[in-house]
Structure 1
Amino acid sequence: MLRTLLFLIAFAMPAMAQDAVPTGGPDDPLVIDRSATGGATTLEEIMARQNALAAGQAEPNIDTTERRTQPGMPGAPITEPLGTLGGASDPDLWRGVRYSNVGFDTQNRGPAATTLIQDGGMWWLDVRDNILRPYGGYLLLGTLALLALFFLIRGRIKIDGPKTGRTLLRFKTYERFGHWLTAGSFIALAITGILVLFGRVAIIPLLGHEAWAPMAIASKWVHNNISWAFMIGILMMLFMWTLQNIPNKDDLKWLAKGGGIFGGGHVPARKFNAGQKIIFWVVIIGGVSISASGLSLLFPFELPMFAGTFELLNGWGLPQAIGLGELPTTMSPQEEMQYAQLWHGIVAFGMTAVIFAHIYLGSIGMEGAYDAMGKGEVEEQWALEHHSIWAEEVMAERNPKQTPAE
């Protein structure tokens, strides 16, 4: 019995010793005395990392100030074979390489050439895998579920009055071209972007690496090249419809009644109602933003945009006002790319959710809506019910003697 007890105590001691090793908090880095090792990694530091990994946690926050500022003394010249290295050693060299404070030269003259080891990317990987991907997926699935529920409850929005058989020109050919150029390219970008982001966790386990490899290559090629069509479409929409999408007092009435959902009846609207204006500005602002981050990703390290943006936001005091503190304004080229990729994904998920609603209303959600972009002309009764102010203006221009309906 005593022997068994002693064995259990001896077996538990190493585990207790490991658990007792501190790891350092986010705002309280673990300070380690490296005087006994001459600045090299200590057992305490190694155990802190092992404990964190064993617990499934991120790498512990360890104070590396001493190691950053003391990468090692330069070695004495080697004049004989197997001569002394003096005060320099391989750990000193690689420590300096890791923290980019040792002199070296490279054949590559690119912006990121002097950063041989970039150890700040784990936070990006964690956010991408554990926040962006799952919550972005929840957003898209939740949006589809809400639209399906709305369709089951509300059904298709029908044309209430009798159809006249007459049509009104709603969009000209070049307007429809700009719309479908933007819409088609966005759908291609959304599909390929989702494939790339979810490929490792969804497609590879289902179809295998051999099937995923050509899909990944094709998705990357399509995404990089179709993006130019999307940017052209955004510019076309900006020039074609900006003036007609400026908010006015009629939009407040439309929003107050939820476009007719609350209070019954149809709400007077111009060519674009308040809901369509919201979608327009989401597409324009989101499209410009996602294009900027996309260009930064298409031309790596050439178009940094976040350090300057963060500096501007800090000057306005916006991050501090919402409790984020000052955002970083000095970052490596790799960090710029990491922020660009995350922002690209965040905006893409948000725009895709909004476009889901737009596609729903323009197809199965509302009778007669698709004709506006499908044919360019809409049923006169549909126009009078959903865009009465615009319809009356068009009808008055077509027949000056006709008195607009009240």
Structure 2
Amino acid sequence: MALLTFGVGAGLTGSMGLTVPGAAAQTAGEVPGNWSGNVSDSEIWRQIRHGVEGTVSIPDKKAGTLVQAHGDTWRAFMTGPLNSFGSWLLLISIVGIAAFYFIRGRITIEAGPDTMGRTIERFNGLERFAHWLAASSFVALALTGLNLLYGRHILKPVLGADSFASLTMLGKYAHNYIGFAFMAGIIMMFVLWVRHNIPNMNDVRWLSVGGGLFTKGVHPPAHRFNAGQKIIFWLVIVGGVTLSLSGLAMIFPYEIAPWAWLLPALNAFGAELPAQLTALQEVQLSVLWHSFTGLIMIAVIIGHIYIGSLGMEGAIDAVGTGHVDLNWAREHHGLWVAELEQTGGIEESGRPAE
């Protein structure tokens, strides 16, 4: 360890001052004390380059590692494969949605809007608040997050280095604080809707015909949430939770270590993952996972935004006014409408009875 202390000290200052007793004077070419003279400089730097950890007297014990050996591998993956994966994923999502729109067109209400203008309350005020809290915060998080990944290639040449740096710093602070609003929205949606999103056999039948999305005139029966919406729900909940945990690990680095228990747990099922991670590796792995999960979530939400607005007539009303056309509800959620009719949940006006 004394050897390591010398190597780290020499690497940080270029030299290390030593005070030795006169009796330890150099003899026959030996280094005084005979504690580091038998190891070459190349061996010392080889150990440092591979991330050997020494001891430091300052509070930040991470400074005991002069060179973080895995840092360059992490950087190369973030700027290489992950960057390319995200670019292709988002491009395929946008092109796929555009192709679907031009081939299938907008999904309209086949029977047309109810001639009497009758509607059903689909989401109440609290449900719409939870939706828009999560949705608006996610859009802000997506934009600021994408800027961190791709902004230097897209915005920096346009804005200039100084303006881009200021924008990115503001975006980083906004990202950190808006993340808590997203967490609150995720929790609210889970509490409000989890009981409606338990899979059942109707979902299998819905999926077997693609939900009628690809074939005109096909309207598989569904309860309040169909199979497609249930898939989106669980993707948002699971993805939102993992994004939140990895985000907290980055907001509070070296204090939250989500991988310290996860990797050993996965090894119990036969995985061969490193069981011991340094504090810095914990943060790096959280950044990697946060970016990967975020890109997938963005691609999923792009599709969700399309089908809930331009892609389907009447869908946006559900989270807008909270009321949907009665014919729209019968075509897309027939079992739900039947339940309301049987329980007297629909008045003659079409609005739910209070």
Bucket of the pairwise TM-score, normalised by the shorter protein: 0.7 to 0.9
The residue type paired with residue 313 of structure 1 is L
In structure 2, distance between residues paired with 1:194 and 1:236: 26
The residue type paired with residue 381 of structure 1 is N
Given that 2:108 and 2:312 are in contact with CA atoms closer than 8 Å, whether structure 1 keeps it comes out as yes
User: 1:43-85 deviations in whole A, cap 9, x for unaligned?
Assistant: xxxxxxxxxxxxxxxxxxxxxxxx99x979xx985246xx755
Aligned counterpart in structure 1 of residue 138 of structure 2, from 178, 181, 186 = 186
- Higher alpha-carbon deviation: 92-101 or 291-300: 92-101
Equivalent runs, 1:105-120 vs 2, <5 Å? 105-109=56-60, 112-120=62-70
Pair 1:78 & 2:29 matched = no
In structure 2, distance between residues paired with 1:280 and 1:172: 18
* Alignment match, 2:223: 270
In structure 2, distance between residues paired with 1:144 and 1:269: 28
Equivalent runs, 1:33-112 vs 2, <5 Å? 77-79=19-21, 86=32, 87=34, 88=36, 91=41, 104-109=55-60, 112=62
Equivalent runs, 1:356-367 vs 2, <5 Å? 356-367=302-313
Q: C-alpha root-mean-square deviation of aligned residues, in Å?
A: 2.7
The residue type paired with residue 387 of structure 1 is H
Shift of 1:137: 1.3
* Alignment match, 1:174: 126
Shift of 1:334: 1.0
* Alignment match, 1:310: 263
Given that 1:270 and 1:389 are in contact with CA atoms closer than 8 Å, whether structure 2 keeps it comes out as yes
Given that 1:71 and 1:95 are in contact with CA atoms closer than 8 Å, whether structure 2 keeps it comes out as no
Shift of 1:115: 2.7
Shift of 1:268: 0.6
Aligned counterpart in structure 2 of residue 299 of structure 1, from 249, 252, 257 = 252
Given that 2:51 and 2:69 are in contact with CA atoms closer than 8 Å, whether structure 1 keeps it comes out as no
In structure 1, distance between residues paired with 2:51 and 2:285: 21
Equivalent runs, 1:4-403 vs 2, <5 Å? 77-79=19-21, 86=32, 87=34, 88=36, 91=41, 104-109=55-60, 112-164=62-114, 165-260=117-212, 261-262=214-215, 264-317=217-270, 319=271, 326-398=272-344
* Alignment match, 2:13: none
Q: With the length of structure 2 as denominator, give the TM-score of the two structures.
A: 0.84
Given that 2:249 and 2:256 are in contact with CA atoms closer than 8 Å, whether structure 1 keeps it comes out as yes
Given that 1:307 and 1:328 are in contact with CA atoms closer than 8 Å, whether structure 2 keeps it comes out as no
Equivalent pairs, count: 324
Shift of 1:359: 0.2
The residue type paired with residue 370 of structure 1 is I
Higher relative CO (CA 8 A, sep ≥ 6), structure 1 or 2?
2
The residue type paired with residue 91 of structure 2 is L
Given that 1:71 and 1:101 are in contact with CA atoms closer than 8 Å, whether structure 2 keeps it comes out as no
Distance 1:262 1:162, change over 3 A: closer
* Alignment match, 1:5: none
Given that 1:128 and 1:342 are in contact with CA atoms closer than 8 Å, whether structure 2 keeps it comes out as yes
Given that 1:269 and 1:389 are in contact with CA atoms closer than 8 Å, whether structure 2 keeps it comes out as yes
In structure 2, distance between residues paired with 1:173 and 1:330: 48
* % identity of equivalent residues: 42
Q: With the length of structure 1 as denominator, give the TM-score of the two structures.
A: 0.74
Helix, strand or coil at the partner of 1:378: strand
In structure 2, distance between residues paired with 1:285 and 1:157: 29
Where do 5+ consecutive residues of structure 1 fail to align? 1-66, 320-325
Given that 1:100 and 1:114 are in contact with CA atoms closer than 8 Å, whether structure 2 keeps it comes out as no
In structure 2, distance between residues paired with 1:214 and 1:147: 34
The residue type paired with residue 334 of structure 1 is L
Q: Which has the larger radius of gyration?
A: 1
Given that 1:93 and 1:102 are in contact with CA atoms closer than 8 Å, whether structure 2 keeps it comes out as no
Shift of 1:120: 1.6
